[in-house]
Structure 1
């Protein structure tokens, strides 16, 4: 296994924590050109707390991008917008911890941000355990000014999102059935071509 390519197949065989990733690919097609190429040995210096295994696999399979043009998953290091430090785990974490302090949320230092939404909701891990694979999910719902806890990790949360099995969290009115994911590199390319990736039919090559 090289530092820049996580061994997804072996991890899936060795750990039940990868069941949600297999389920997610059944619900949402990954990008045609796969995800991000992350050098996790370099990332470890910037993020000493580590990352859950399913996030590493998600970055390899899907990478940074958006579900339905609504829910964005951020990378540890930007590949598409290298000057936008806010659109990273570090940037989302800073936003989440600041928001938590402003709203008197208990132990804001344990929040690690991995995503956001176009409504400025914040999606975080609750990093209470020293084992990242045990981290659960906390969501700041900005329009409701509330923190919601979920007793499962990121990939399970995304599976439930894709299956529309998060009752009372978000509602959607999309021009297509199911759920889509578009990598940021594809979204950037399509914007330059004035093509909407969220139309009734998926765009080939994404």
Structure 2
């Protein structure tokens, strides 16, 4: 287990041992291997909400409303289609540079945390693009998903989009 996950566990211990979903089918459906540290994060916490606000997407067989495959079905494509018509857009989508959006978490406000996935990059090097619900505001993070999550929960990442209540950092698991 990496240091970021250990620090996250000290900050907010996982409540229970969650069911392990089918990562192989998720990766096959998404046409990408997913970052190992993210799979480790989800295997530790499962489906649930950090601070009652930020929700991880999980592999099939864990919790259907937050199934990473179902959530990503057309979700990132919609954002890219909207940005094609806009003057302001993330620079990765100002030309056909080969990036794909793969969502890994969402908020109760409808904001989404995506990986900027590229076939020429290893999944562990994917950056995070945090996008507001209306697709008008986005923030880039050059860090793996668990580090972005930890930064948002500790306040080390100051986001104009994601604003969890940090008075008590909690994790509430959803039923399996």
TM-score between both structures, scaled by the size of structure 1: 0.70
1:35 matched to 2:18: yes
Instruction: Specify which structure has the bigger relative contact order, considering alpha-carbon pairs within 8 angstroms and separated by 6 or more residues.
Output: 2
Write the deviation string for residues 117-174 of structure 1: whole angstroms up to 9, x where unpaired.
1111011111124311111100111357112111111100011011022214333556
Secondary structure of 2:156's counterpart equals: coil
Q: How many residues align?
A: 163
1:142 matched to 2:133: yes
1:61 matched to 2:44: yes
Write the deviation string for residues 175-201 of structure 1: whole angstroms up to 9, x where unpaired.
xx3311111117xxxxxxxxxxxxxxx
Equivalent of 1:171, from 163, 168, 173? 163
Q: Which stretches in structure 2 are left out of the alignment for 5+ residues? A: none
CA distance in 1, matches of 2:30, 2:49: 23
Q: 1:74 Cα shift?
A: 0.9
Larger Rg: 1
Query: After TM superposition, which residue ranges in structure 1, 4 or more long, deviate above 6 angstroms?
Result: none
Per the alignment, residue 89 of structure 1 pairs with 68
What's the RMSD between the two structures over aligned residues? 2.3
Write the deviation string for residues 82-116 of structure 1: whole angstroms up to 9, x where unpaired.
xx4xx322233221321232123405851101111
1:124 matched to 2:114: yes
Per the alignment, residue 150 of structure 2 pairs with 159
Write the deviation string for residues 58-88 of structure 1: whole angstroms up to 9, x where unpaired.
121101111111111111214233xx4xx32
